[in-house]
Amino acid sequence: MKVLAIDSSGLTATAALVDEERTIAEYTVDYKKTHSQTLLPMISEMMEMIDMDISEIDAIAVSGGPGSFTGLRIGSATAKGLGLALNKPLIHVPTVDALAYSVYGCQDIICPIMDARRNQVYTGVYTFSVKNGENGVREQIFRVQKMQMAVPVTDLIRRLNNYGRPVVFLGDGVPVYREMLIQGLKVPCSFAPSYMNRQRAAVVGALGIRYFKAGNYETAAEHKPEYLRVSQAERERAEREKNAVPEVRKMTMEDGAVTAEMEHQLFPDSWSEKSILATLQQPGTICLIAEKAGRTAGYLLAYTAAGETEIARIGVVKELQRQGAARALLAELRNQCIAQGVARILLDVRESNKAARALYESVGFKEDGIRQRFYESPQEDAMLMSMSVEASGQEQAETDS
């Protein structure tokens, strides 16, 4: 079988065409140009040099991570686009698996390391063992001792010392952490030479053929890269969201879709966008949206009648829970009730939802009773809770004025 192989997981961009016996063509560039500038032209030129139409390939092997977020996305998008256009299967080859496989036959522990910043590396632990095959031919068995992972360098050193065997390192993490490794390791270590210490698409392709024969492949639509951890930009956004003070505003018609999506993610009996918009348009409703760092964090829908307000729905997206959004929504609801002269706020909550019950109690709600088998999917009793709405002296003075 003929396999087109792609790797753009690190600083190196590399593409190759391989079959089961040889590397037919390989194009590798380790230069400062972005992979989006180089990868497709490399593939096109390579296919032209061997007078082969790309439709003749049988599969596409792609280095699926870990690695550079931008690089992985470019490689993944390229492979997916070609796979969809050509109707070819994709073979997801873990980046560090391919790096280790490039040191074929090495009897030391093989430890690829890719710089993950902040004194961490993407890595794995691999070995080759010898098996006697047919006609006395020795066969190398590629073994994964530790699957790919993101770990602090100090933890990696400790693990390798526990193995008590010589180690060979390769990958773009070597120049960054070489001295740290030499100083910390109590076992002999060495570093792979230049021709095998970076990603090579030919290795991705060769290993990909082995995975394909073992049934490890997927459709282009199914493929997605494996990052092992979120990107720096996503970590910074999460930190901003965590530290941001929730802001609450009135819900508008434009919030219907995002509120319905949150409902769908949070509750089995979720309300549709149509139901949410219908509630928003009804008189006597209080509909609120909470935001953190410019992102919609939660919502609250309540009905007001006969001097009481009943909370119909309240929710906060899972990744922003326990960060003050629900409290901010309840505080603003109380302010709205004070302004409208509402005396009490009512709600019901699943008996098993201890976290929500504790939150409601902390802001002044008290349990009034129980409604048996009120909830469905799964069936469960509802705890009835209420809170008296009383304005403080300052609030009352402002209302009277």
Q: Give dist(CA 152, CA 189) in Å, integer.
A: 18
pLDDT at 393: 39
pLDDT at 232: 53
pLDDT at 257: 86
* pTM of the full structure: 0.59
**CATH code of the region 239-400:** 3.40.630.30
Q: What is the pLDDT of residues 63-77, one digit of tens each?
A: 988 888 889 999 999
3-class secondary-structure state, position 391: coil
pLDDT at 375: 87
Query: Do the domains spanning 3-94+200-229 and 239-400 agree at the CATH topology level?
Result: no
pLDDT at 391: 52
3-class secondary-structure state, position 212: helix
Q: What tokens were used for 271?
A: 């309300």
pLDDT at 229: 56
- Residue spans of the domains in the chain: they are 3-94+200-229, 103-191, 239-400
Order of strands across the sheet that contains 120-132: 138-152, 120-132, 109-115, 167-170, 189-191
CB 35 within 8 A of CB 74: yes
Contacts for 329-335: CB closer than 8 Å, 24+ residues apart: 329/246, 329/248, 329/288, 329/290, 329/298, 329/299, 329/300, 330/300, 330/360, 330/363, 331/248, 331/363, 332/248, 332/288, 333/286, 333/288, 333/300, 333/302, 333/309, 334/387, 334/389
Which one-letter DSSP state was computed for residue 145? E
Q: For residue 390, how far is the Cα from the chain centroid? A: 45
Give burial (CB, 10 Å; 0-12/13-18/19+) of 400.
Answer: exposed
pLDDT at 34: 83
28: β partners: 14
Q: Give dist(CA 114, CA 176) in Å, integer.
A: 9
Question: Mean pLDDT for each 10-residue chunk of the chain (401 residues)?
Answer: 96 95 95 86 96 97 89 93 96 94 93 91 90 77 80 93 94 96 96 94 96 93 77 58 86 90 88 93 95 88 95 92 94 95 95 93 94 87 92 44 41
pLDDT at 237: 61
Matching CATH number, 103-191, of 1.10.10.410, 3.90.190.20, 3.30.420.40, 2.40.100.10: 3.30.420.40
Q: Give dist(CA 42, CA 118) in Å, integer.
A: 33
Q: What tokens were used for 74?
A: 């470019």
CB 346 within 8 A of CB 334: no
What is the residue-wise DSSP string for 214-283? TT--B-TTT-----SS--HHHHHHHHHHHHSPPEEEE--GGGHHHHHHHHHHH-TTPPPHHHHHHHHHST
Q: What is the pLDDT of residues 96-136, one digit of tens each?
A: 999 999 999 999 999 999 998 889 999 999 999 887 777 77
3-class secondary-structure state, position 310: strand
The CATH architecture one would assign to domain 3-94+200-229 is: 2-Layer Sandwich (3.30)
